[in-house]
Structure 1
Amino acid sequence: MDANPAGLDTKIMRNCGKIHLKRTKIDRLMNRLVVLIFMSLVLISVALTLGFWDKVKEFKAKHHYVSEKLTYSVPTESFFTFWGFLILLSVMVPMAMFIITEFIYLGNSIFINWDRQMYYQPQNMPARARNTSLSDQLGQVAYIFSDKTGTLTRNIMTFKKCCINGVVYGGTFPDLSFPHGAAQHA
């Protein structure tokens, strides 16, 4: 028996692990794309820096009025040239992409707030989107778990409709079939 109650099994120690940031699939995809674009930007800047030094030597050899003496050492001059190209080409990184998706999320959350079919009559409560990326997060639901005791559902479970492997089941809706791979999960 452990005499020390303040060990690794305490609540505070169990909850101080890694922080899991919740991100949507679109956010993760955009982050990967931005990293890929930035890496290509660095490679292009390195290539341009190397090409620049090759052309500068040729240019200085042809034009006598340009000083062949460098004000900085070759590594320092290369460093400044690289950062100059990196800054010049930084417009390749599409920061507007994040802003546009946030506006799209905002528009979707406004439509959720306006949706009359999402009104909950027993509590006289309309739907409220408290998060702009709510619609994207709802589209990623893969499984729904419920209990039999009524703790979560107040013992009122109504099956409306679901889609399994592209086949829609239930409800008064027409039977819509989705192509395999584009199945929606309810």
Structure 2
Amino acid sequence: GSFDGPTASRIASGVTNTTPPDDSARASLAPPPAGGELQTISLGHRHLLLQSSYIKATERVYALVVYTGNETKCGMNKKPAPKKWAKIDRAVSRYSMIIFTCQILCALGFGLWGCFRNFAIADEDWYLAMNLGEHVSGADASWIAIVIYPLRFFLLTSVMIPISFKFVVDMSKAYMALVLEWDLSMWDDERGEGMRVKDSSIVEDLAQIDYVLSDKTGTLTQNVMALKALAANGDNLDALPLEALDPNQNTS
């Protein structure tokens, strides 16, 4: 057949006018109005297909890809995963900040007090020949002393937060993890191995758990359900062993 004339196949084309990528699921897509034979179609949230969505029971679909990758609605609404900190780690960090603040205040207070006190002693007892300027003469000597004295007190109070504290904490975590892995009561005969500690920070929180809230999934039950009790017509019956139950016997 001939492809000339009004029956010839034509490639459809269009222009999409949309807003920049954002996290709003109600963004509208609308091409600009134009004259001639162009057709204007408005697209809104009813025509929006979010990422990871599926369309079923639909014979034909005309798709228009506007946002891809991290510019999609789901990509724009993604949030970074929160950092998992043990309760003890949070407490240690909080106490360390409090101690460090006290250390700074002590260093500034005692350093400035000692500096001005030595200035007064140097003026009264001139025969001591105190070199407050750290071998610097002139007007800059007093300013250098004001800076050096608090630094000296800061070094003297640095033992308030011992450097070996973090090392001792990490070694304690590693030891507790090894003790759990060596526990024979957690040995699995089917797999032929014991438990594996994947995060040593969780070990510290085990002793601080007061309540465990869980559903009936296989996480704790291992998908094995056992009959414990039976209530029928207001009567509570004790559970019978599975071997004692006869499936062919009718009970009333």
TM-score norm. by structure 1 comes to: 0.67
In the alignment, structure 1 segments of 5+ residues that lack a partner are 159-186
Structure showing greater radius of gyration is 2
Q: Give the counterpart letter for 1:103 in structure 2.
A: M
* Corresponding residue number in structure 1 for 2:194: 126
- Tell which has more relative contact order, 1 or 2 (C-alpha 8 A, sep 6+): 1
Q: Which residue of 88, 101, 121 corresponds with 1:39?
A: 101
Q: Which residue of 173, 184, 189 corresponds with 1:105?
A: 173
* Cα distance between partner residues in 2 of 1:36 and 1:43: 11
Q: 5 Å matches for 1:1-80?
A: 1=45, 2=48, 4-6=66-68, 7=71, 9-10=73-74, 12-15=75-78, 17-61=79-123, 62-64=125-127, 66=129, 70=133, 71=136, 72-80=140-148
Q: Give the counterpart letter for 1:91 in structure 2.
A: V
* Cα distance between partner residues in 2 of 1:45 and 1:151: 53
* Cα distance between partner residues in 2 of 1:114 and 1:69: 61
* Cα distance between partner residues in 2 of 1:129 and 1:80: 48
- The answer to which structure has the higher helix fraction is 1
Q: After alignment, is 51-60 or 125-134 more displaced?
A: 125-134
1:81 equivalenced with 2:149 (yes/no)? yes
* Cα distance between partner residues in 1 of 2:132 and 2:96: 39
Q: Give the counterpart letter for 1:115 in structure 2.
A: D
Number of residue-to-residue matches in the alignment: 155
Cα contact 1:146–1:153 (8 A) shared by 2: no
In the alignment, structure 2 segments of 5+ residues that lack a partner are 1-44, 49-63, 227-252
Cα contact 1:106–1:133 (8 A) shared by 2: no
Cα contact 2:115–2:149 (8 A) shared by 1: no
TM-score norm. by structure 2 comes to: 0.52
Q: For 2:190, what is the secondary structure of its paired residue?
A: helix
* Corresponding residue number in structure 2 for 1:167: none
Q: For 1:64, what is the secondary structure of its paired residue?
A: helix
* Cα distance between partner residues in 2 of 1:31 and 1:66: 45
Deviation readout 1:81-127 (Å, 9 max, x if unpaired): 21222123212113333322222222211111111110122322311
* Corresponding residue number in structure 2 for 1:114: 182
Percent pairwise identity: 19
Q: What CA RMSD, in Å, does the superposition of the two structures yield over aligned residues? A: 2.9
* Cα distance between partner residues in 1 of 2:164 and 2:72: 45
Deviation (angstroms), 1:28: 1.0
Cα contact 1:49–1:78 (8 A) shared by 2: yes
